[in-house]
Amino acid sequence: MEFVMACAIGVLSGCGVWLLLRPRTYQVIIGLSLLGYGVNLFIFSMGRLSIDKEPVLAAGLPATLQHYTDPMPQALVLTAIVIGFAMTALFLVVLMAQRGFFGNDHVDGTPDEPGPSEPEERQP
C-alpha cells in the first residue's frame, strides 16, 4: 500500500511540474491541479495509512493514535481541496480574460509563431 501511494504521489507531482513548465495557460492550470492532488495525497499519507482503525474516539479504547486514525491530515486535505477548487476557478476566469485581451493562451502573452505551412503576414 505504501509503495502504491508513493508511486501515485510521484507521478502526480512529476506530471504537475512538467505541465507547469509548458507555455500554454490551460496546461499550467492542469499542472497546478495535479501538483495540488499530489500534495494532498502526501499530506493524507502522513497520517499513517491504516486499515480498520476508528476515525473517532470509541468507548473502551485509550485515546492514543495507536488505536485511531489521525484526523489532522484529513482536515488539512479537505481544506486544501476547497482552496484548490477556488484557485482553479479563479485561474480559469483569468485564462478567459487573457484569451479575450490577447487572442491566445500563452503564459507570457506572445503570439503563436507561424508553422511551416502557415505564411507569415507581411507588413506593407
Set out the domains of the chain in order of their start, with CATH numbers.
Answer: 2-50+68-102 (1.10.287)
Q: What is the pLDDT of residue 116?
A: 63
Distance CA(60)–CA(63), nearest Å, equals 9
Q: Does the structure show a pLDDT above 80 at 86? A: yes
Give pLDDT tens digits for 27-76: 999 999 999 999 999 988 887 766 776 666 777 777 776 767 777 888 88
What is the grid cell recorded at 91? Answer: 485561474
Q: How buried is 34 (Cβ within 10 angstroms: 0-12 exposed, 13-18 middle, 19+ buried)?
A: buried
Q: Which of 10-14, 55-59, 88-92 has the lowest mean pLDDT?
A: 55-59
115 vs 118: CA distance, rounded Å: 5
- Using pLDDT thresholds of 50, 70 and 90, give the confidence band for residue 104: confident
DSSP structure class, residue 109: -
Alpha-carbon distance 33 to 27, whole Å? 10
